[in-house]
């Protein structure tokens, strides 16, 4: 049975944090740095408001 793949970057980060094999293979320092950068990337993405969202939701308010 194959596990369900993550559908968001946030889910992927959570899975990656629990991957002991990669943690050992790539090293804890590298993985911590990589994971922190991906968390920053997710925060940037999550805070971004697209032009589609502006158009869609502003039209609904007006």
Q: How many domains does the chain have?
A: 1
Query: Is residue 19 in some structural domain?
Result: no
- The two tokens of residue 1 are 């049975």
Q: Residue 26: which H helix or E strand, with range?
A: helix 20-26
Query: Is residue 57 in some structural domain?
Result: yes
Residue numbers of the domain that contains 55 = 32-62
Query: Is residue 60 in some structural domain?
Result: yes
Query: Is residue 38 in some structural domain?
Result: yes
Instruction: Please report the pLDDT score of residue 62 as a whole number.
Output: 62
Instruction: Please report the pLDDT score of residue 58 as a whole number.
Output: 84
The pTM assigned to this predicted structure is: 0.73
Query: Is residue 39 in some structural domain?
Result: yes
Query: Is residue 4 in some structural domain?
Result: no
The mean per-residue pLDDT over the stretch 18-35 comes to 96
């Amino acid at each position: 049975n194959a596990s369900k793949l993550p559908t968001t970057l946030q889910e992927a980060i959570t899975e990656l944090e629990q991957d002991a094999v990669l943690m050992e293979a790539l090293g804890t320092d590298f993985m911590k740095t990589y994971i922190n950068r991906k968390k920053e990337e997710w925060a940037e993405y999550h805070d971004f408001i697209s032009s589609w969202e502006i158009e869609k939701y502003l039209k609904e308010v007006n």
